[in-house]
Amino acid sequence: MRSAKIAVPLVVGMVLLVALVAILRTRNPGLTLTFTADDLQQKLAGRFPLREKLPFTTITFRDPRVVLADGSDRIGLRITADATAAGGKELSGSLLLDGALRYEPQEGAFYFDGARVQEMAVQGLSDDARRQIQTVASLLINLYLSHVPVYRLNPEDIRQALAKTFLKSVSVRNGRLIVEIGIAS
């Protein structure tokens, strides 16, 4: 008798949940998130500076600035980079990199992924040193930011909780990052 008292509400709850999902699917319950460069800037600002000690140098990435280019599905970052070699020589410059937005549905979280250095401005470097720094910078930024959420859906918001299943599209329009997520049709 006791198991029937537990089973009935459980079955009713499951039926209601399935019905809700079916209704939402027919109405294409997409969720569109819109972020300005400043919104993303605030999310990333707390993640920097990033300091990495390597065998012969220490590199610090600081002061990230988000760059959103219309028509792109990638997020740009302009970062100041400081390097101190083992001998004490110091270099400073800026990097412009871009990366894709990766969505992890089970976490309801978005990550900066696949960083590529697009521009690098550092005075006093040979071409060979510039290529090496560019490669190391891409690797370090990828290792670090690919594990740090840029944005996480709110599990308390029923619409966001239901819509978090699939990433539909990511684009930049009019200086804003537009992310569409939802249940597949």
Quote the pLDDT of residue 94. 92
Identify the CATH class of 2-182. alpha beta
Residues pairing with 50 in the sheet: 61
pLDDT beyond 60 at 118: yes
Q: Which amino acid is at 149?
A: P
Quote the pLDDT of residue 63. 93
- What is the mean predicted confidence (pLDDT) over 95-115? 86
**Which region among 95-109, 151-165, 168-182 has the lowest average model confidence (pLDDT)?**
151-165
pLDDT beyond 60 at 166: yes
Tell me the pLDDT band of 14, cut-offs 50, 70 and 90: low
Quote the pLDDT of residue 140. 82
CB 95, CB 120: distance < 8 Å:
yes
CB 110, CB 102: distance < 8 Å:
yes
- Please give the C-alpha separations between residue 54 and each of 3, 48, 51, in angstroms, as whole numbers: 61, 18, 10
